[in-house]
């Protein structure tokens, strides 16, 4: 299946929701994610930088979510493709991210910035696989010893000074 076969409003990988895991990640899956990231990149709004970015991810229930960067004249409120992707994740039913890919306007693999790594960690955890220029690696390598929701639980906070 290519991205041409998938309408922008569809969020299911092959038409039938299914549970997916890391073992399901084949080269065809990564190729499909790359096609979806390229499709999303065409929706980028980049009148200031002229640097479109598209991102796509596989969700644990088989959906594909995607996003593109959306610039703003007040640069601080610009949305990156990863933010747009996480919005799509929640607008289409939530879940956990399993695999992630991000491309620039030329289709080259991009590395998520620190802010975006934190955002992706929140919704995929240590096992989320990312396509990086060096290859496919888990989030635990991309963002080692990440701060996350577990650090905010009452058990993790303890009774003494704040733990970081």
Is 10 one of the catalytic residues? Answer: no
The dihedral sign for the CA sequence 37, 81, 102, 45? positive
User: Could you identify the residue written with the tokens 């229930």?
Assistant: 61
Beta-bridge partner residues of 103: 54, 109
Q: Which of 36, 82, 122, 145 is catalytic?
A: 82
The sheet with strand 129-132 has its strands ordered as: 64-68, 53-59, 97-104, 129-132, 135-138
Which contiguous run of DSSP H or E holds residue 104? Answer: strand 97-104
Give the active site residues: 82
């Amino acid at each position: 299946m290519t991205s041409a076969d998938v309408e922008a409003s569809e969020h299911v990988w092959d038409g039938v929701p299914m549970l997916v895991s890391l073992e399901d990640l084949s080269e065809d899956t990564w190729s499909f994610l790359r096609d979806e990231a390229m499709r999303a990149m065409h929706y980028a709004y980049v009148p200031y930088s002229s640097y479109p970015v598209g991102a796509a991810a596989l969700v644990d229930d088989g959906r594909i979510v995607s996003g593109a960067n959306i610039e703003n004249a007040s640069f601080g409120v610009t949305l990156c493709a990863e933010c747009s992707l996480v919005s799509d994740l929640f607008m289409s039913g939530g879940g956990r991210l399993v695999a992630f890919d991000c491309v620039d306007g030329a289709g080259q693999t991009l590395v998520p910035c620190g802010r975006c790594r934190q955002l992706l960690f929140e919704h995929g955890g240590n096992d989320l696989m990312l396509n990086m220029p060096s290859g496919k690696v888990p989030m635990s390598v991309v963002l080692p010893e990440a701060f996350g929701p577990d650090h905010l639980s009452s058990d993790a906070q303890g009774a003494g000074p704040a733990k970081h």
